[in-house]
Structure 1
């Protein structure tokens, strides 16, 4: 079995981590074998790169930053995602390559065609593509309120950027979702988390036939 690879995407405050966790808990309760992971991160090496990229305080060039994200992704895919899929597991990932395109390609680089082309080429080198992507969308006011409500949580460098950056990121995700509509499902994530989770489960249901019940099924 090839397993199933599901990704959650969206800007800050959209609720990706919460919804990914809730879905993993639901699927495990239904008897599915689930690997819940995140990007950047997911392996020891990729987690070290995550700390550098989000909290390291270093100002990389746009291309260097993209390459660092893809270096973390390559290790994550080769050491965790592909082995899990080969075992017939359901992999749920909080962010993947769409985030690099939205954050670095649109947010930081204002849709620079050369950088977007570079990101597209690098995507082609990574031997894993999501079967299904949920793009969570919320109005800016709700996103800002959720971010403010995180309390003492450590703020990463992207969260700290100005509202114009986050607007460009949201526009980037919308472009991606429209372009890859067969894979991406946009979800209004502004309501109660239980309602958002129900909408996600309804979209996922047709994909679950035989998935994530182990390689011997």
Structure 2
């Protein structure tokens, strides 16, 4: 877990509303006088943005293991150069996707094995885990409808078939069930305001502790 600051990650399938809720929580925390850092994976650093373009938008074939290693490289750079320094300064880090996404997308979606991808991710991150992971749960069909109405360009993962996204969702829920103290699981079909309220309640409890 984070040593001085607070590390909060947002997880869930594509189209579940992670970015919207991260933005709302960031604004609420800043209104309270907290110092925050918003980031994302893949990306979040200069090196990471280049890796993001490769891993999400490269038109040629990328093998599943190569994909997992690219995500791990992004994570290692991100944690070492941006996230750990922010936490050591006592900041609240709000991050869109982290290790749980690798376990769901590469471990289950790409069928590389959750345990194998976990070992790689733990090594890449230096075994840094969030204080809180907010999982916005949405069934793949509803997520696809949201994406279809909002996007004209789909990345390599968004473009995968329903069965892939079904495996991803299953593992997200299994991870949450295994670590209920770390996860806050929310129904992503709730209103934006209702989701924001529930997230603030959980974060308020963390801040008070």
Q: TM-score, normalised by structure 1?
A: 0.90
- SS of 2:38's equivalent in the other structure is strand
How many residue pairs were aligned? Answer: 205
Q: What's 2:117 paired with?
A: 119
Structure 1: gaps (5+ residues): 211-217
* Cα distance, 1:118 vs structure 2: 2.0
In the alignment, what sits opposite 2:84? Answer: 82
Aligned to 1:138: 138
Q: Report if the CA contact (8 A) 2:139-2:169 is conserved.
A: no
Residues 54-92 of structure 1: per-residue CA shift (max 9 Å, x gap): 001232222221111010000000010000001000000
Say yes or no: does 1:28 pair with 2:30: yes
Q: What corresponds to 1:45 in structure 2?
A: 47
Q: Which region of structure 1 is more displaced relative to structure 2, 122-131 or 194-203?
A: 122-131
Find the aligned partners of 1:106 and 1:116 in 2 and give their Cα distance.
6
In the aligned structure 2, how far is the partner of 1:63 from the partner of 1:142?
Answer: 29
Q: Does the 8 Å CA contact 1:8/1:134 hold for their aligned counterparts?
A: yes
TM-score (norm 2): 0.93
After superposing on structure 2, the runs of 4+ consecutive aligned residues of structure 1 that deviate more than 3 Å are: none
**Structure 2 residue matching 1:208: 3-state secondary structure:** helix
Determine whether 1:199 maps to 2:198: yes
